[in-house]
């Protein structure tokens, strides 16, 4: 259990405790019973009767523990070494089969065994509060911030009178809830328990530095799973020096409060996560490493992808060569056919594996394990799910959840929870079937911080990448991109998919080197530059961004994705792995444009429009416009060119819905500019240091607003025509892959679809967090000519939504030949799509007028201006209510006038 501690408060408490402490023994509060005599235990031979000793080394060298097993019964006894209580250990837990996320790194537990009577307890220390002072202060820390008992196990016998023998098999199976649950983290799946009587031993290996065991058993729900544990010494590399974290460059880190400092303003010690990579010969300007970082590509990785994976891993040698180390990373291929490296287990914490999982989960992940005391990375794995290389069908529900979670902070999510009608995720959930509709959509503050926190952020790269893979696939099918080769991987041009696999591999290994995301790096190169004839450089300053592939349809096509590391990557490695004497000079280069870094956590607490995912180009509004142009052209080709002869018309429906993902992302990206501000991490005195907060130019905010409204409010932005909708066939398959389409109405739900996008656009623009940011920016930009204000934002949205009432003579009261008929159909004054938009807009203004927290000045200002807009709309409706209005529009206007007046009356009563 972790205890929180403020450094200032603890220093006084620790000093007092040190002065009063009489017995400076750690864990003094645990009352130890006298150790029983050896003869009180059964004979050691009895404990291992019927078991065979496990020998895993070629030379018969003893393992960290002596293991005795019986695979028939599943019994597994471990004998701890002499002096076991002094060993610091790391228990690495992994679910290895039976789950779509099998193989992904699970929880890690750090601690040591302690004998208490006839029991062994595994104690987990509080590593976040420590003392680097004298023994009395250290004792005080241990007394106040004691260890926690993770689990305990009976001692079966004592080998040689002092070495405890324990039932490691029973522990591994019965303690699954503790080992795989709770606050210990992990990136893979979790399970609540196993059916112990049905457990079988599937692996037991004993090596000098660690032991690896694995059991198979049904979990409590009946699913058969395998759980593996690697128990090894927690030993740092001799000579490793911790390096303190710096906010100008993005590294994961471990932290602790040092109680010995007397500075009340002292920050916690934060040590970046990094490997011990140093020159073998410091005298050489370019030296091999004393110990390289060795990777093994698992034998399950398809042969056709292996070279791309290997090249992606080796990308990082480019950066290490810049700091004088050649060959810092090595890659070896595990191969079942030849037996190469098949003696190495991915679950063995001594080895770093690039694992290939046959799961349909659409992501890759690259976590690592570090020494919590120093930040040294001890082991890392990348797990690639094959579903990542496949584009998905209908994914509006899941995509909207991901986009909103990435760009929303606790304040906005709380608003959605209190006002479900504002939540776009609820609007789109039904498009992905009943399972998606039933899934929880509201993230808590704690889960958001866990997701974006520096140590806990789990990169699951790929959920949104499938949108771009689908888009590229459609563009290739329509012949809109010229290719140099006809070679394909899984039906996708290799010159596109191969570099994408290489880039994702480099991205995940970057995490394994300690690097955080840098979602602002993709704004380093303009679209014009990357698509200029002959350009072969990177399209982003970092592979640690979620970079959308560069698709320049109809123009000169540059690189699809980075073919090498970017400038930020090379600089970040210099800051984390370069010589310590050069660190200050390297960090001072933070102000160089190509070294731009914005922390991923800022995505949910601020609005820097550069800090977004799955876009590319110096200005992502240009990206949005180019993507929507491509989407529009593809929609026009769906029936005629994308779907080929001999293919089902159900593909028209599926491909159309895939294109909707790009449109959805466009709205989120554009919204980030409104009320946005550019962030900078530069320190004072840095050459050409930037101001920490610079508001987005008013012209850019207006451009983003216009782009968002055009692609959310106008039904023409969806490319829906009677001909297209009539060709949206469907198929009836009741397996999991076909269920989403099976439950969809044969008649495509055009109004629910467009209405969902309109509602999302309004939620992005009018939520109180967005409006507050615009309102606060007015203070920073006061006196600035043509400043963008809250009143302007609300007014422009009203003008767009109620344009018919502002200019009734230009309203669309024209005849249409859209449907072939002898009788022409007259369009209403307000179309059904516009009526829905107006209803949604009025409803949101009503919510803002009636907002309960009027103690906050910003909300009072928002409510006041929202009230003015409601009155304005009421006046427009009164003027537009003419005798020749069509019945649908007349009823619509009448209802809204009543709702608006009642809301205004209620607000007056409430405030009065």
Give 279's DSSP letter: B
Give residue 122's Cα distance to chain centre.
Answer: 32
- Rounded to an integer, what distance in angstroms lies between the CA atom of residue 341 and that of residue 350? 13
What is the residue whose two structure tokens read 């009203």? 798
pLDDT value at 28 more than 60: no
**Residue 777: closest CA among 860, 692, 694, 684:** 694
| Beta-carbon contacts of residue 536 (< 8 Å; ≥ 6 apart) | 558, 559, 563
pLDDT value at 213 more than 60: yes
Question: Per-residue pLDDT averaged across 873-895, rounded?
Answer: 92
pLDDT value at 392 more than 60: no
- Give the pLDDT confidence score for residue 462 in this predicted structure: 67
- Give the pLDDT confidence score for residue 140 in this predicted structure: 80
The SS3 assignment for 313 reads: helix
- Rounded to an integer, what distance in angstroms lies between the CA atom of residue 620 and that of residue 614? 10
Say what percent of the chain tops pLDDT 90: 64
pLDDT value at 22 more than 90: no
Question: Per-residue pLDDT averaged across 520-544, rounded?
Answer: 96
Question: Per-residue pLDDT averaged across 707-724, rounded?
Answer: 97
Q: Which tops the pLDDT comparison, 506 or 468?
A: 506
Task: With beta carbons less than 8 A apart as the criterion, state whether 525 and 550 touch.
Answer: no
Under the banding of pLDDT at 50, 70 and 90, the label for residue 767 is very high
- Rounded to an integer, what distance in angstroms lies between the CA atom of residue 620 and that of residue 670? 8
DSSP of 341-390? TTT--TTSTTSEEEEEE------EE--EEE-TTT-BEEEEEEEEEGGGGS
- Give the pLDDT confidence score for residue 328 in this predicted structure: 99
- Give the pLDDT confidence score for residue 819 in this predicted structure: 36
Residues facing 211 on adjacent strands? 206, 231
The SS3 assignment for 110 reads: strand
Question: Per-residue pLDDT averaged across 165-180, rounded?
Answer: 95
Question: Per-residue pLDDT averaged across 34-50, rounded?
Answer: 79
Task: Tell me which range, 451-460, 774-783, 800-809, 835-844, is most confidently predicted by mean pLDDT.
Answer: 835-844
- Rounded to an integer, what distance in angstroms lies between the CA atom of residue 876 and that of residue 801? 12
- Give the pLDDT confidence score for residue 690 in this predicted structure: 96
| Beta-carbon contacts of residue 72 (< 8 Å; ≥ 6 apart) | none
Q: Is 670 exposed, middle or buried (0-12, 13-18, 19+ CB in 10 A)?
A: buried
- For the entire predicted model, the pTM comes to 0.89
**Residue 89: closest CA among 146, 147, 36, 143:** 147
Say what percent of the chain tops pLDDT 70: 86
CA end-to-end span of the chain: 50
* C-alpha dist (Å) from residue 860 to 67, 184, 850: 69, 42, 10
**Residue 323: closest CA among 278, 378, 274:** 278
Packing angle between helix 750-766 and helix 790-801, nearest 10 degrees? 160
* C-alpha dist (Å) from residue 11 to 21, 25, 256, 804: 15, 20, 14, 67
- Rounded to an integer, what distance in angstroms lies between the CA atom of residue 173 and that of residue 216? 9
Task: With beta carbons less than 8 A apart as the criterion, state whether 708 and 670 touch.
Answer: yes
Helices (H), 790-912: 790-801, 803-806, 832-849, 857-880, 887-911
Task: With beta carbons less than 8 A apart as the criterion, state whether 110 and 89 touch.
Answer: yes
pLDDT value at 684 more than 60: yes
- Rounded to an integer, what distance in angstroms lies between the CA atom of residue 571 and that of residue 577? 10
Task: Tell me which range, 5-19, 409-423, 510-524, is most confidently predicted by mean pLDDT.
Answer: 510-524
Residue 182 phi/psi, 5° resolution? 75, -160
- Rounded to an integer, what distance in angstroms lies between the CA atom of residue 351 and that of residue 205? 14
- Give the pLDDT confidence score for residue 283 in this predicted structure: 97
* C-alpha dist (Å) from residue 207 to 57, 61, 63, 231, 340: 7, 8, 4, 10, 19
- Rounded to an integer, what distance in angstroms lies between the CA atom of residue 252 and that of residue 244? 11
**Residue 664: closest CA among 871, 432, 363, 487:** 432
pLDDT value at 146 more than 80: yes
* C-alpha dist (Å) from residue 400 to 178, 387, 404, 428, 429: 34, 19, 6, 7, 8
* C-alpha dist (Å) from residue 643 to 195, 477, 500, 864: 50, 8, 25, 52
**Residue 238: closest CA among 279, 287, 288, 276:** 276
pLDDT value at 824 more than 50: no
* C-alpha dist (Å) from residue 622 to 98, 526, 528, 670: 45, 9, 10, 10
Tokens representing residue 874 in the block: 């009421």
* C-alpha dist (Å) from residue 170 to 73, 213, 470: 12, 12, 48
Question: Per-residue pLDDT averaged across 579-596, rounded?
Answer: 97
User: Whole-number mean pLDDT of the chain?
Assistant: 86
Question: Per-residue pLDDT averaged across 633-653, rounded?
Answer: 94
Overall residue count recorded for the chain in this entry: 912
* C-alpha dist (Å) from residue 99 to 30, 108, 194, 217, 471: 40, 19, 14, 13, 30
Tokens representing residue 586 in the block: 């390297």
**Residue 659: closest CA among 604, 613, 706, 718:** 718
- Give the pLDDT confidence score for residue 486 in this predicted structure: 83
Each residue's pLDDT tens digit, 424-480:
878 776 555 433 433 434 444 444 444 444 444 457 676 678 888 888 988 998 889
- Give the pLDDT confidence score for residue 605 in this predicted structure: 79
| Beta-carbon contacts of residue 675 (< 8 Å; ≥ 6 apart) | 607, 696, 701, 770, 771, 772, 773, 774, 777
- Give the pLDDT confidence score for residue 219 in this predicted structure: 94
Give 146's DSSP letter: -
- Give the pLDDT confidence score for residue 6 in this predicted structure: 45
Rounded (5°) CA angle 45-50-55:
85
Give 274's DSSP letter: B
Question: Per-residue pLDDT averaged across 624-637, rounded?
Answer: 96
H/E element, 272: strand 269-272
- Using the CB atoms, write b or e for 191-229: b if 16+ within 10 Å: bebbeeeebebbbbbbbeebbbbbbbbebeeeeebbbbb
What is the residue whose two structure tokens read 């993230």? 443
């Amino acid at each position: 259990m972790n205890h929180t501690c403020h450094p200032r408060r603890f220093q006084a408490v620790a000093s007092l405790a040190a002065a009063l402490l009489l017995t400076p023994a750690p864990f003094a509060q645990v009352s130890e019973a006298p150790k029983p005599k050896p003869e009180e235990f059964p004979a050691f031979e009895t404990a291992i009767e019927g078991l065979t000793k496990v020998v895993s080394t070629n030379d018969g060298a003893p393992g960290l523990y002596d293991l005795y097993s019986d695979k028939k019964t599943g019994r597994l006894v471990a004998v701890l070494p002499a002096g076991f209580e002094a060993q610091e250990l790391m228990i690495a837990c992994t679910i290895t089969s039976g789950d779509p996320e099998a193989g992904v790194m699970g929880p890690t537990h750090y601690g040591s065994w302690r004998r208490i009577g006839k029991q062994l307890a595994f104690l987990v220390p509080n590593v976040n509060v420590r003392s680097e002072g004298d023994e009395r202060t250290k004792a005080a820390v241990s007394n106040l911030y004691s260890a926690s008992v993770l689990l305990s196990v009976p001692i079966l016998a004592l080998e040689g009178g002092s070495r405890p023998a324990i039932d490691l098999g029973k522990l591994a199976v019965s303690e699954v809830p503790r080992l795989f649950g709770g606050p210990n983290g992990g990136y893979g799946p979790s399970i609540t328990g196993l059916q112990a009587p049905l457990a079988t031993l599937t692996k037991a290996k004993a090596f000098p530095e660690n032991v690896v065991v694995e059991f198979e058993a049904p979990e409590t729900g009946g699913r058969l799973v395998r759980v593996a544990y690697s128990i090894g010494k927690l030993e740092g590399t001799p000579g490793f020096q911790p390096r303190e974290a710096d906010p100008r460059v993005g590294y994961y880190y471990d932290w602790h409060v040092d109680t010995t400092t007397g500075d009340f303003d002292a920050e916690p010690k934060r040590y970046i996560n990094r490997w011990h990579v140093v020159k073998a010969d410091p005298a050489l300007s370019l030296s091999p490493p004393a110990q390289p970082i060795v990777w093994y590509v698992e034998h399950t990785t398809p042969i056709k992808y292996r070279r791309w994976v290997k090249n992606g891993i080796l990308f990082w040698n480019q950066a290490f060569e810049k700091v004088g180390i050649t060959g810092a990373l090595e890659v070896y291929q595990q191969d079942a056919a030849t037996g190469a490296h098949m003696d190495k287990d991915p679950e063995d914490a001594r080895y770093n594996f690039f694992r290939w999982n046959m799961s349909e989960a659409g992501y890759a992940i690259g976590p690592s394990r570090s020494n919590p005391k120093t930040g040294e990375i001890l082991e890392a794995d990348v797990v690639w799910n094959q579903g990542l290389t496949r584009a998905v069908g209908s994914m509006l529900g899941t995509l909207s959840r991901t986009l909103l979670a990435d760009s929303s902070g606790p304040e906005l999510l709380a608003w959605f929870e209190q006002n479900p009608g504002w939540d776009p995720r609820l609007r789109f959930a039904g498009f992905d079937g009943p399972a998606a509709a039933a899934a929880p959509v509201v993230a808590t503050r704690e889960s958001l911080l866990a997701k974006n926190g520096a140590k806990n952020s789990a990169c699951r790269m790929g959920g949104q990448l499938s949108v771009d893979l689908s888009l590229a696939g459609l563009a290739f099918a329509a012949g809109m991109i010229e290719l140099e080769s006809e070679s394909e991987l899984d039906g996708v041009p290799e010159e596109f998919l191969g570099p994408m696999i290489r880039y994702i591999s480099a991205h995940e290994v970057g995490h394994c080197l300690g690097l955080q995301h840098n979602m602002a790096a993709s704004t380093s190169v303009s679209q014009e530059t990357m698509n200029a004839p002959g350009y072969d450089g990177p399209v982003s300053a970092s592979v640690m961004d979620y970079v959308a592939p560069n698709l320049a349809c109809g123009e000169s096509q540059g690189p699809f994705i980075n073919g090498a590391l970017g400038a930020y990557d090379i600089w970040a490695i210099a800051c984390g792995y370069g010589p310590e004497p050069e660190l200050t000079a390297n960090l001072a280069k933070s102000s160089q444009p190509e070294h731009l870094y914005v922390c991923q956590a800022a995505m949910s607490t601020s609005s820097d429009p550069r800090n977004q995912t799955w876009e590319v180009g110096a200005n992502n509004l240009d990206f949005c416009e180019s993507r929507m142009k491509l989407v529009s052209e593809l929609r026009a080709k769906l029936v005629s060119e994308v779907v080929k002869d001999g293919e089902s018309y159900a593909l028209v429906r599926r491909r159309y819905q895939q294109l909707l993902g790009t449109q959805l992302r466009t709205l989120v990206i554009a919204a980030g500019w409104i009320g946005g501000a550019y962030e900078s991490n530069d320190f004072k005195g840095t050459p050409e240091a930037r101001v920490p907060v610079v508001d987005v130019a008013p012209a850019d905010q207006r451009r983003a607003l216009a782009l968002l409204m055009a692609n959310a409010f106008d039904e023409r932005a969806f490319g829906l025509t009677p001909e297209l909708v009539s060709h949206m066939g469907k198929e009836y398959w009741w397996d999991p892959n076909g269920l989403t389409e099976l439950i969809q109405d044969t008649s495509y739900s055009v109004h629910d679809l467009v209405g969902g996008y309109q509602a999302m656009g309004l939620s992005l623009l009018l939520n109180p967090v967005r409006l507050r940011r615009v309102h606060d920016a007015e203070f920073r930009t006061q006196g600035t000519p043509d400043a963008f204000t809250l009143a302007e934002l609300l007014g422009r949205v009203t003008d767009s939504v109620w344009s018919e009432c502002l200019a009734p003579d230009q309203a669309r009261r024209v005849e249409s030949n859209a449907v072939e008929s002898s009788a022409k159909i007259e369009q209403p004054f307000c179309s059904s799509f516009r009526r829905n938009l107006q209803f949604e807009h009025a409803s949101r203004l009503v919510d803002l007028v009636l907002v309960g927290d009027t103690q906050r000045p910003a909300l009072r200002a928002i409510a006041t201006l929202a009230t003015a807009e409601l009155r304005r709309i009421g006046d427009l409706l009164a003027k537009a209510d003419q005798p020749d209005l069509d019945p649908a529009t007349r009823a619509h206007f009448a209802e809204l006038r009543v709702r608006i007046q009642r809301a205004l009356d209620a607000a007056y009563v409430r405030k009065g």
